[in-house]
Structure 1
Amino acid sequence: MLGADARTRSGFVVLAGRPNVGKSTLTNAIVGAKVAIVSDKPQTTRRAIRGVRTTPDHQLVLVDLPGVQRPRDVLTERMQRRVESELRDADAALMLINAEQGIGPGDRFIAQLLKQAPLPVVIAVNKIDRCSKHQTAIVLQAAADLDVAEEIFPISASGGQGVQTLVDHLASMLPEGPFFFPPEDRSDQAEHVLLAELVREQVLRRTRQEVPHAVEVEVGEIEQRDDDLMYVRAVALVETDSQKGILIGAGGRMIRAIGTAARRELERELGTRVHLDLTVRVRKSWRTDERLLDRLGIE
């Protein structure tokens, strides 16, 4: 831990919820920077991403958990083990519910999981800006009926409504103690992992069906070539030749579109011009390759 005044508070809050409820969007909103990629595809988050929000009196470390799911392969087994580990080590849990969709079996499963964890739970009902007051009230009552949370907050992660009130409450739940990270840090992700995720985000935005879940991105080289130019070499891994064909697209149009959009995101993150060398490679059954998953930072 880093030295700080004894009156400061710091701790870890796990963010749990069904796929596509807005966990990554909320993490980015609370941190004030892009530390988690955003997509409308389920199971976008593969890593337990730590976003760090620091003020003079508290440091809130958000852990955006991979989507809770039944393990299907080595990749999802790792994701599920990480969920269980983070729940054991956290100071509090924030369960996120989609106001548009209401309470479903997945929410009830997560609520039961959180009831078994020895930590206080708060619920945030997200996307209220897309719902009527009546619909929001119904979901808030259904969230209360889950009987898992001390407090329930209606919010809009994308619009900011209710987010500060939620953050203030989470900060009040943290134990007293020094900070875990330097005040300027926004995440504990390694740079090559964050850049790879930004590239993968653009793949997710442009592909459908089986392709998003079969793609992973590895950044193998980051080199300052000139004073204002960073060279980044990235490889998009897929499992079949047909997926490779989809990702490259007719005449290479798909991969060029992905590369152009990804380069802009990398330049925004790095604050400099970027030359992105993006290729596609078939790596059969990469989701069961333990050594590769280690290298990709999927613990």
Structure 2
Amino acid sequence: MSPTHSGFVALAGRPNVGKSTLVNAMVGHKVAIVSDKPQTTRRAIRGVATGPDWQLVLVDLPGVQRPRDALTTRMQSRVERELADSDAALMLINGLEGIGPGDRFIADALRKTSTPVIVAVNKVDKLNDAKLMEVLQAAADLEVGDDIYPISARKGTGLEPLLDRLRELLPEGPFYYDPSEESDQTEATLLAELIREQVLRRTFQEVPHAVEVVIDDIEEVRDDLLRVTAFIWVETDSQKGILIGAQGKMIKTIGTAARRELQRELGRKVHLDLSVRVRKDWRGDDRALDRLGIE
């Protein structure tokens, strides 16, 4: 029997570069929420992609950024720890936006690690040939990593060559997870994230950044029905008003969409009890962040 290879690959990139979409595409199942809002990913979510003799544990890092409060300080510290513990790092660049200061900040951080780095330029399905060549050259000028792969995480373009290269970097060793597992998230964390995704899709300006979702209870009513009780945390009364909406229309819309996502994920009917609570300055509250599991 041939030996197995397994290891951790950390995904680094600016917010809204497409890391969550890439993790979901590689795993073949939704394990990370997707949004066009910065700070969508607050935890280092692990997606697990397994083949006959290999296992890639994909660590979808929070968006690498300069810390601004207790939340982003924890996010950045987690990035640094996960990078140090990974067998390889994959830097993802938004091909539509090109190289910016954030990419250079990340490249500087990656050059300081001993971890092998691969670079992927995402969203190439939306670029013409001239723009693609321009972005690939700019990525090469960052001088981080030896290989650059043009991909579209949304369409799956270019993923096989990228996966082949990542598999080559895996050390020999046993699988970390059962081949049937696709993520190490708890059920409560995944359900909370799916609800938060629906909030992100419907809110603007400061509201998305001030929102967190806490699962209070999961009750099995009967074999085909779960009752999920969840709280949406916000930081101000005005944000609470926005989320509830006129005559409660916004919270009803969010709840309906979230319930459908939970039912799709769980494969059974879900009764979702959803309410909004004000937790002032939770992003700067270490005790609140501990409760949320944001290390």
TM over 0.5: yes
Residue 246 of structure 1: aligned partner = 242
Residue 58 of structure 2: aligned partner = 62
Q: Say whether residues 1:153 and 2:149 are aligned partners.
A: yes
Residue 236 of structure 1: aligned partner = 232
**CA distance in structure 1 between the partners assigned to 2:45 and 2:62 by the alignment:** 8
Q: For residue 227 of structure 1, report the CA deviation from its aligned partner.
A: 1.4
Three-state SS of the structure 2 residue aligned to 1:51 is strand
**CA distance in structure 1 between the partners assigned to 2:223 and 2:98 by the alignment:** 51
Q: Say whether residues 1:225 and 2:221 are aligned partners.
A: yes
**Per-residue deviation, residues 37-64 of structure 1 (Å, max 9, x unmatched):** 0000111110000000011110000011
- TM-score of the superposed pair, with normalisation by structure 2: 0.98
Residue 83 of structure 2: aligned partner = 87
CA pair 290-172 structure 1, distance change in 2 beyond 3 A: same
Percent identity of the aligned residues?
69
Q: Say whether residues 1:43 and 2:27 are aligned partners.
A: no
- The one-letter amino acid paired with 2:98 is G
Q: For residue 6 of structure 1, report the CA deviation from its aligned partner.
A: 6.5
**CA distance in structure 1 between the partners assigned to 2:284 and 2:150 by the alignment:** 39
Equivalenced residue count is: 295
**CA distance in structure 2 between the partners assigned to 1:110 and 1:289 by the alignment:** 27
**CA distance in structure 2 between the partners assigned to 1:100 and 1:252 by the alignment:** 38
Q: For residue 254 of structure 1, report the CA deviation from its aligned partner.
A: 0.4
Q: In angstroms, what is the RMSD of aligned CA positions?
A: 0.9
Counterpart pick for 2:266 among 270, 274, 280: 270
Three-state SS of the structure 2 residue aligned to 1:232 is strand
- What 5-or-longer segments of structure 2 have no aligned partner? none
**CA distance in structure 1 between the partners assigned to 2:45 and 2:148 by the alignment:** 23
**CA distance in structure 1 between the partners assigned to 2:288 and 2:218 by the alignment:** 19
- The one-letter amino acid paired with 1:178 is P
Counterpart pick for 1:98 among 84, 89, 94: 94
- What 5-or-longer segments of structure 1 have no aligned partner? none
- TM-score of the superposed pair, with normalisation by structure 1: 0.97
Q: For residue 149 of structure 1, report the CA deviation from its aligned partner.
A: 1.2
**CA distance in structure 2 between the partners assigned to 1:209 and 1:57 by the alignment:** 46
Residue 191 of structure 2: aligned partner = 195
Q: For residue 294 of structure 1, report the CA deviation from its aligned partner.
A: 1.8
**CA distance in structure 1 between the partners assigned to 2:226 and 2:285 by the alignment:** 30
**CA distance in structure 1 between the partners assigned to 2:155 and 2:64 by the alignment:** 25
**CA distance in structure 1 between the partners assigned to 2:126 and 2:285 by the alignment:** 41
Three-state SS of the structure 2 residue aligned to 1:196 is helix
- The one-letter amino acid paired with 1:62 is L
**CA distance in structure 2 between the partners assigned to 1:227 and 1:189 by the alignment:** 23
Residue 125 of structure 2: aligned partner = 129
- The one-letter amino acid paired with 2:195 is V
Q: Say whether residues 1:290 and 2:286 are aligned partners.
A: yes
Q: For residue 288 of structure 1, report the CA deviation from its aligned partner.
A: 2.1
- The one-letter amino acid paired with 1:17 is G
- The one-letter amino acid paired with 1:288 is G
**CA distance in structure 2 between the partners assigned to 1:282 and 1:105 by the alignment:** 35
**Per-residue deviation, residues 167-220 of structure 1 (Å, max 9, x unmatched):** 111111110000111111111111101100000000000000010000000001
**Per-residue deviation, residues 211-256 of structure 1 (Å, max 9, x unmatched):** 0000000001111101111111110000000000000000101000
| Larger deviation, residues 284-293 vs 179-188 | 284-293
- Assess if the C-alpha contact under 8 Å between 1:51 and 1:188 holds in 2: yes
Q: For residue 23 of structure 1, report the CA deviation from its aligned partner.
A: 0.5
Three-state SS of the structure 2 residue aligned to 1:206 is coil
Counterpart pick for 2:13 among 14, 17, 37: 17
Q: For residue 292 of structure 1, report the CA deviation from its aligned partner.
A: 2.2
Three-state SS of the structure 1 residue aligned to 2:201 is helix
Three-state SS of the structure 2 residue aligned to 1:80 is helix
**CA distance in structure 2 between the partners assigned to 1:169 and 1:208 by the alignment:** 38
**CA distance in structure 2 between the partners assigned to 1:104 and 1:73 by the alignment:** 23
